[in-house]
Structure 1
Amino acid sequence: MNAQPRSRLVVIGNGMAGMRTVEELLAIAPVRYDITVFGAEPHPNYNRIMLSSVLAGEKGVDDIVINPRQWYADNQITLHTGDPVVAIDRAAKTVTAASGLVVAYDKLLIATGSKPLMPPLPGLELPGVVAFRDIHDVDKMLAAAKAGSRAVVIGGGLLGLEAAWGLKRQGMPVALVHLMPTLMERQLDVEAGSMLQRDLTDRGLHFFTSGQTEEITGTTHAQGVKLADGRFVPGELVVVAIGIRPNVDLAKAAGLAINRGIEVGDDMATSDADIYSVGECVEHNGQVFGLVAPLWEQAKVCAAQLAGDRAASYVTPALSTRLKITGIDVFSAGQLTAQDEADSEIVFRDAAKGVYRKLVIREDRLVGAVMYGDVADANWYFQLLRQESDVGPLRDRLIFGQQFADACCGGAKGAMDVAAMSDDTQVCGCNGVSKGTIVKAINAKGLTSLDEVRAHTKASASCGQCSGVVQAILAHVTGADAAISEAMCKCTEHGHAHVRQAIVEQGLKTQGQVRRALGWKTDDGCAKCRPALNYYLLCAWPGEYLDDARSRFINERVHANIQKDGTYSVVPRMWGGLTTPDELRAIADVADKFKVPMVKVTGGQRIDLFGIKKEDLPAVWGDLNKAGLVSGHAYAKGLRTVKTCVGSEWCRFGTQDSTGLGVKLEKLLWGSWTPHKVKLAVSGCPRNCAEATIKDFGIVCVDAGYDILIGGNGGIEVRVTDQFTRVATEDEVLEIIAALMQLYREEGFYLERTAPWVERVGMAHIKARVLDDGAGRKALEARFLFSQQYAQIDPWAERAEGGIDAHEFQPLAVVE
């Protein structure tokens, strides 16, 4: 019997919406059509919303490809890249490409997307003026960054802010011009917009709000932007990111019904029954689309219609907004403000911590939410909004989030209630993946790790903001003991959490035992997993596991940081930043004796000796040890420094002895290996001269005692600490810091700083372990003090005089 001939489907547009429609169609009717795809760009299908991550240097172009060329071949799809369709002949049912190629269709899908909105400005045609729409635009912007240009971004919406931040990450001075007084005014209210501008200003961006661009100046190349009020903003790169408009030119020339976009019905069909359209080019019920969530719904409905399901109908879903700038958390959905007397607003604001929430309620239904600084409950609020849930019983505690609501209602304290999520709840906005899709893949394919879920569903594979929710779903489906973290390395499929748990539960006390028990793919591991296993075993079995020097990076093995010229720098420890004339003389003598070319004071109040030859390291440490100076671990995954101010002893504003407390903390914590470097600071008053609010653990002295802060980071991605608790005495500070350090040691993944650890496990969890459970805190402190009996004290005491083992200078890798 002859097989039924396939119908011919031609897709105009190789972007996200068109290819998502094809993916959905292949899932439900894989042999119904012979499919031909035309794309204007030379690339295969890629995730356009991740261009900001490419610009920021966080991802490469290959990382954002959704469907590589092999996928088209595997699915017998004919792909024409770099060859846009230029004409549609509806009578002949053919399309003609720029190359002259003519292809016939039975059904046609138009997914031409949108064009950048470019205002009629003088100077718009100058070299150096670009939009922010595709990979070619990103290449131009990266080239300008390498040339050392200054950048001006016009537009303070989502796209403009992500462009500005990406250019800033590339090292460019960046100014942003925005017509309105508030950034992201379509997604944020005035309060949240102001907080966003303040935080981005602190990160080095410059803003010209209420700024109407009058002209882009320059003769042969852009030189800057002139505003209507006379202000001038210099810049050799001008990025126009004020919005998009549907790309309807081809459809209009073909005689299809056009308004702002290509008009489609609930079935996603155009005014021609054989032509469908999806994406940013369409208009449905008077609405056009610039966010990805409705595109996924359109693709699903369109695919069902193409497969013959005439009941499939499109309804615009509730929409939410997130900003892809690392370290800045923004969420909004629904109404931004009360519209009339039927609406009421519930507001929580903590300006000092940079946290803001506003909920808009109508008739006991949540109709809008704006969040800044802490968006952990965003998915929960969005679920309440989408499902039009009755929030009346929760109203008095709704603003405090799901944990508080669950605890008050008898729910599981601190648990993400993924069980209550409906299967159609969208978890991954970047790739349009619902909870039901994730659950189905986990059950059908036996997935046990986040990496596996990403590979099979694409959930959290792009910006990663939904990783926590995906992990929670994975844990819920597979059980509490499931490995829900990413694979440690290519040697194993297991994540850090699973490996740590197995080491303790199975009593694994050597790296070899771990690799054999967990089915490592390599006999000896690699430069990524060996240091991690070495740390996990040290932490789990203090006094039993013997530290493996060969599984350490060279800087930890020789207590010196390798520099780019092959020499080393040495940092002796100065407790709390204090030193003595004798110590300074000893350092000066070492600098003279070994002809040290640079002596520098570090940001952590220590002295760094640069340019030491590797063969001189044993003698350098020998001389320093004789003077009582020990390792500062300025190169280790361990305690680095405890920075202090002079406090009440000398400062007229000091409230407590910050210096003395800093010394006690440093002596308490010194020598303890940790998942990553750890820095502390103690400030003697709220003026915070020791910068305690950007340290892993910070203490700010106040009249009433000591504020303990956690989770700060002063590196590339600055993160301000979270307030943890206030205590009255130094003894309480020492006890809590010891417990916090041990909890981080036991729960942190190797190379995970405290900032992402806090965000991953949640402040509620840490407070429950350290503050709410007094016995648990004491147990953590006791385990920490026990492990300190085996901490490394003298880096060279047990070495032969003047000798270094051969393996000392054979690093697995060189790290900062």
Structure 2
Amino acid sequence: MTTRKLAVIGNGMAGVRCVEELYRLSPDAFEITIIGDEPHPNYNRIMLSKVLQGDTSITDITINDFGWYKERGIRLILGEKAVRIDTAGKKIILESGTALPYDELILATGSSAFIPSIPGIHKIGVTAFRNIKDCETMIEASEQYRRAAVIGGGLLGLEAARGLLNLGMEVHVVHNASNLMNRQLDAMSADMLKRELAQQGMRFWMEKRTEKILGRKRAEGLLFSDGTKLSADLIVLAVGISPNAALAAGSGIATNRAILVDDCMRTNTPHVYAVGECAEHNGTVYGLVAPLYEQGKVLARVLAGVDTEPYKGSIPYSMLKVSGVDVFSAGDIQGDVEVALQQYNGLQGTYKKVTVRNGKIAGAVLYGDSSEGMKLLDYLKKKTAAEILFEKPEGGAGGNDEAVLAMADHQTVCSCNGVSKGAIVSAIQEDGLQTVEQIREKTKASGSCGGCKQLVGAVLSCVLAGAGVGVKKTDPICSCTELGHEEIKEAIAKLEATQVAEIQEKLGWKKAGGCIVCRAAIPYYAGLAAEAKHGVEEPPGSGEQSDVCAREVFFRSKEILLPHPVRLELSDHYLSSSDVLVRDFGLAAVPAGWEVYAGGHAEHPVKQAQLLAVEAEEEMAMQLAVACIQLYRETAHYGERPWKWLERMGLQPLREKLLDRGNMEELLTRLQLAERTEMAWSVK
């Protein structure tokens, strides 16, 4: 069988992350070639300001070194530009004239610095701030010249200004708006940032529009529209980015502002895809790391032939350290929103504002302390009611430690790379990690924008100090024991005992005979343990394929051992699917196929079921629902209703487990095995 050829135009963060995911899912599926126009391997563009400041080398910000490509058999072509794509012949034409064939093509061409149409813009001494070469140009200028002007008061401009200050230059920031970072900050937080940066040595020219760059051959300063002037020896442009879509447009691939893609990151041309800053999805072009990685993950699963949730867009957010100041911004913080919470602490230099729309959290901005950022982002994604902001927090810790202790294991710490608190805690405990750098190496947490570095450090310090993270005693299932549900499950799985009294004795029960809670929970967990042991023994017929359709298995599944009785619903017509939304597990026929739901509840508290997936075929939808029921059986606590289980597990982690075809098939096998063995639960 001939291995298919996958070509990636662009060696940046989005394209290479997609390749990383694809290699993890199906390492032998493609013969991969990556083309990059810079001479460097894949590096973290967000960390360029660190290189400019002089305290970080290019090697330090490299994400994948040359050895990484070699180990995976990836052909890497650097310093070459793709000038045309022959979509009919499925070939890429390079600037050197070389033609590279492909079966599948990913366009990850990224973006370039926006160059405004200002007279004198191409003079010597004018540079953008976008890549390593730009950093080198600025460092060289600082060795000879004294005064720099940065056009642009957004994040990129302020990072450039901070780097130039570190290089010993006098730095002036020119911004056409009244507030710094006006896309991310409100007036209050922007003013606090401006005061802080002014104390660091930056000088500001607000609401200024540059009319002309002064000087003959070399730039000597700026002329503004109000007639005022600013002398400068180095002009840095940081006024935005432009998607690199010209290659696609010139090759007949549909573009607008960027390359147009659908929910699977496909362009209008067969076998051609796009991800990252060059891609436009539903009218939006994303310039932040997390959305680009989300796109790459979806595309990797598409190329690997693995079932995946379509990309539906992202909530842009920024969790940054701007010149040493922690800043977080997400959602809508201005416009048609109401302010639900606003706090200012002049002594500590912190500020917090949360906005709402129709009673739901719509946006947030934090200044000086971003420890609550991921929690607020989670509220924002879930459209949580504003009342949660005023609930009294548990515990007495402060800052990042309080945020860590308040987080559930499934909650995300590093949104760029999708790393949860639980994953970080496990890595620290299992691998004996001692530093944030080791955590980044192992899990990728804090390895992209770096905004979560403090929170990662807080998780580490809490674990190392034994402050209740990872080693925290869970709530006991009842007053008869100190053990929680997971501890009891693990203990029973290791015991040979089958009688309730015997299990209680071996686990040190406080009360002989137990209570109504534990007398019911122990047989349930013992039953699951018995199932697992029978599975290892492989009873007769366990390897045979069942001819029973998934629809029958779906309805029969409520009769087997479950943490709590469940209500199932099947709607064969999309006009009568309302009951599905208030059932524990349900399926609804829709024009596009079948929708699979979980976690509904018709009684108090009323809960609307969550959409797990949409499948084209009924059989696949039924299998997914049955696999979800089995996952509920294996991971729920005894007595825990599906809606509470779903809230504890988290919707996205649940989807990832179920949409992995291998995981789903294993779950189905285990449920069918439990049915075939027809166990007589002997625990009494």
TM-score higher than 0.5: yes
Map residues 348-497 of structure 1 onto 2, 5 A cutoff: 348-395=343-390, 405-407=393-395, 415-417=402-404, 420-421=407-408, 423=410, 425-427=412-414, 429=416, 433-435=419-421, 438=424, 441-442=427-428, 445=431, 447=433, 449-461=435-447, 464-474=450-460, 480=466
1:563-620 deviations in whole A, cap 9, x for unaligned?
Answer: xxxxxxxxxxxxxxxxxxxxxxxxxxxxxxxxxxxxxxxxxxxxxxxxxxxxxxxxxx
CA distance in 1, matches of 2:57, 2:469: 28
For 2:297, the equivalent position in structure 1 comes to 300
Q: CA deviation at 1:483?
A: 12
Provide closer, same or farther for how the CA distance between residues 308 and 440 of structure 1 changes in structure 2, counting only shifts above 3 A.
Answer: farther
1:344 touches 1:362 (CA, 8 Å); kept in 2? no
1:267 paired to 2:264: yes
Residues matched between the structures, number: 470
Residues of 2 paired with 1:28 and 1:165: CA distance?
41
Indicate the SS of the match to 1:233: strand
What residue in structure 1 maps to residue 221 of structure 2? Answer: 224
Matches of 2:349 and 2:462, distance apart in 1: 32
TM-fit CA distance, 1:481 = 7.8
Give, as a single letter, the amino acid of the residue that structure 1 aligns with 2:41: P
Cα distance, 1:453–1:150 mapped onto 2, change above 3 Å: same
> In 2, distance between residues paired with 1:411 and 1:174?
36
CA distance in 1, matches of 2:44, 2:388: 41
Report Cα offsets for 1:662-690 as digits up to 9, x if no partner.
xxxxxxxxxxxxxxxxxxxxxxxxxxxxx
Distance in 2 between the 1:448 and 1:323 partners? 24
Measured in 2, the distance between the counterparts of 1:479 and 1:29 equals 39
- Aligned twin of 1:171: 168
Counterparts of 1:436 and 1:34, CA distance in 2: 35
What is the CA distance between 1:89 and its match in structure 2? 0.3
User: What is the 5 A alignment of 1:601-750?
Assistant: none
Out of 66, 79, 84, the position equivalent to 1:82 is 79
Partners of 2:401 and 2:444 in 1: how far apart?
27
Question: Within the alignment, does 1:319 sit opposite 2:308 as a pair?
Answer: no
SS in 2 for 1:133: coil
Q: Give me the whole-angstrom Cα distance separating, in 2, the residues matched to 1:374 and 1:142.
A: 31
Q: 1:745-783 CA distances to partner (integer Å, 9 max, x unpaired)?
A: xxxxxxxxxxxxxxxxxxxxxxxxxxxxxxxxxxxxxxx
Alignment of 1:490-639 (within 5 A): none
Question: Which residue is equivalent to 2:68?
Answer: 71
Q: Which amino acid aligns with 1:349?
A: Y
Per the normalisation by structure 1, the TM-score is 0.55
Match for residue 157 of structure 1? 154
CA distance in 2, matches of 1:412, 1:86: 51
Distance in structure 2 (CA, Å) of the matches to 1:474 and 1:6: 43
Residue 202 of structure 1 and its aligned partner are, at CA, apart by 1.4
Q: 2:181 aligns with which of 175, 181, 184?
A: 184
- CA shift, 1:335, in A, is 1.0
Distance 1:299 1:274, change over 3 A: same
Displacement, 1:54?
A: 0.8
Q: Aligned equivalents of 2:57 and 2:72: distance in 1?
A: 26
Say whether the 8 Å CA contact 1:428–1:460 is kept in structure 2.
no
Q: Give the C-alpha shift of residue 136 in structure 1.
A: 0.3
- SS of the residue aligned with 1:55? helix
Shift of 1:386: 2.2
Do 2:150 and 2:173's aligned partners in 1 also have CA atoms closer than 8 Å? yes
Do the aligned partners of 2:290 and 2:415 also contact (CA within 8 Å) in 1?
Answer: no
Per-residue CA shift, 1:701-759, capped at 9, x if unaligned?
xxxxxxxxxxxxxxxxxxxxxxxxxxxxxxxxxxxxxxxxxxxxxxxxxxxxxxxxxxx
Contact 1:150 1:174 in 2 (8 A): yes
Equivalent-residue separation in structure 2 for 1:428 and 1:310 (angstroms):
22
Q: Distance in 1 between matches of 2:329 and 2:178?
A: 19
Which position in structure 1 is the counterpart of 2:47? 50
2:251 maps to amino acid: A
Is this contact kept in 1: 2:162–2:323, CA < 8 A? Answer: no
Check if 1:248 corresponds to 2:248. Answer: no
Note if contact 1:115-1:244 (Cα within 8 Å) is conserved in structure 2: yes
Q: What SS does the aligned partner of 2:393 have?
A: helix
Compute the displacement of 1:428 (Å). Answer: 5.6
Distance 1:469 1:248, change over 3 A: same
The whole-number CA distance in structure 1 between the counterparts of 2:388 and 2:406 is 20
Structure showing greater Rg: 1
Q: Does 1:20 align with 2:20?
A: no
Q: Retained in 2: the 8 A contact 1:39–1:82?
A: yes
Q: 1:416 to 1:169 in 2, by over 3 A?
A: same
Distance 2:422 2:86 in 1: 41
Give the whole-Å Cα distance in 2 for the aligned partners of 1:413 and 1:291. Answer: 23
Which residue matches 1:281? 278
- Over 3 Å counting, the alpha-carbon distance change for 1:324 and 1:74 in structure 2 is same
Do 2:151 and 2:239's aligned partners in 1 also have CA atoms closer than 8 Å?
yes
Deviation at 1:385, TM superposition (A): 1.8
Answer whether contact 1:162 1:325 (CA < 8 A) is retained. Answer: yes
Q: CA deviation at 1:315?
A: 2.1
Corresponding residue number in structure 1 for 2:588: none
- Amino acid of the residue matched to residue 220 of structure 2? Q
Query: In 1, are the aligned partners of 2:404 and 2:459 still within 8 Å (CA)?
Result: no
Q: Does 1:258 align with 2:255?
A: yes
How far the C-alpha of 1:290 sits from its partner, in A, is 1.1
Q: Percent identity?
A: 43
* Higher relative contact order (Cα pairs below 8 Å, separated by 6+ residues): 2
Supply the RMSD in Å over aligned alpha carbons: 2.7
Instruction: Report if aligned partners of 2:145, 2:233 keep a CA contact under 8 Å in 1.
Output: no
Q: Which amino acid aligns with 2:152?
A: G
Q: Deviations over 1:347-394 (max 9, x none)?
A: 112345432211112344321111212223222222222233334154
